[in-house]
Amino acid sequence: DIQMTQSPSSLSASVGDRVIISCRASQSVSSYLNWYQQKPGKAPKLLMYAVSSLQSGVPLRFSGSGSGTDFTLTISSLDPEDFATYYCQQSYSIPQTFGQGTKVEI
Amino acid sequence: EVQLVQSGAEVKEPGESLKISCKGSGYTFTNYWIAWVRQMPGKGLEWMGIVHPGDSDTRYNPPFRGQVTISGDKSISTAYLQWRSLKASDTGMYYCARQRYGQSPADYWGQGTLVTVSS
């Protein structure tokens, strides 16, 4: 199985801050790297797919980059609604696997 | 509007069986895979497996193979996750999610079904 490791596990930030979350795969996942946002008590929501493609309706302050094994999710200017947990996921091979999550706190 | 609507919360005792459901609407159900994802209390997301309702092709994450059965009924646009004998460690939130292809992201998610297994 491909292991996905996110860093940091949690971070504290303020509204307006630039936030970068990293995700590393144990082997290449090509461009099959997706990001999800989950708020407490809610289902995950797809933010980004294929490394850098923004899902419809997702604000432009979110962006993704990377290739092969190293990827990042960037929030250019943190908005109050962005405080949540973020997960990367590889869909390159089965079983698809998620990172352990990064909790973005105030 | 695409929707995945899951069955309601369940409270079961160890050893009991359970089948939860996920009904799709607003799209052609047989054109998409349905994945099941577990989230244990306070923990992250675990991909359990996936089914293609069109031909019932099913793939499992090895730790879940033999522990659960994933299936689909295209006639009623519904996917299922079932257990023969629940354990306390099965307690958690279970989400279904839609994927266009096996390598696609999960673009729509159900609201989740909370399963509590306790004596």
Choose, out of B38, B45, B60, the residue to mutate when testing the contact with A (most A CBs < 10 Å).
Answer: B45
Rounded to a whole number of angstroms, the distance from the CA of B59 to the nearest CA of chain A is: 8
Q: CB count, 10 Å around CB of B27?
A: 16
- CB contact (8 A) between residue A96 and residue B35: yes
B2-41 pLDDT tens trace = 999 999 999 999 999 999 999 999 999 999 999 999 999 9
B48-107 pLDDT tens trace = 999 999 999 999 999 999 999 999 999 999 999 999 999 999 999 999 999 998 899 999
Q: CB count, 10 Å around CB of A53?
A: 13
Rounded to a whole number of angstroms, the distance from the CA of A34 to the nearest CA of chain B is: 6
Q: Which residue of A has its CA nearest to B61?
A: A95
Instruction: Report the alpha-carbon distance of residue A32 to residue A4 in Å, rounded.
Output: 12
- To the nearest 10°, report the CA torsion of B45, B50, B53, B55: 170
Instruction: Report the alpha-carbon distance of residue A70 to residue A68 in Å, rounded.
Output: 6
Q: Could you say which of B44, B62, B99 has the minimum Cβ distance to residue A95? A: B62
Radius of gyration, alpha carbons of chain B: 13
Alpha helices (runs of H) in A1-106, residue ranges in sequence order:
none
User: Which amino acid would we find at residue B21?
Assistant: S
Asked if A52 is an interface residue toward chain B (Cβ–Cβ < 8 A), one would say: no
Q: Residue A21's pLDDT is what?
A: 98
pLDDT tens string, chain A, 106 residues long: the values are: 999 999 999 999 999 999 999 999 999 999 999 999 999 999 999 999 999 999 999 999 999 999 999 999 999 999 999 999 999 999 999 999 999 999 999 8
In which region does residue A41 sit, left (phi positive, over 0), alpha (psi from -120 to 50) or beta (all else)? left
Instruction: Report the alpha-carbon distance of residue A81 to residue A62 in Å, rounded.
Output: 12
- CB contact (8 A) between residue B109 and residue A98: no
Name every chain B residue with its beta carbon within 8 A of the beta carbon of A95: 47, 49, 59-62
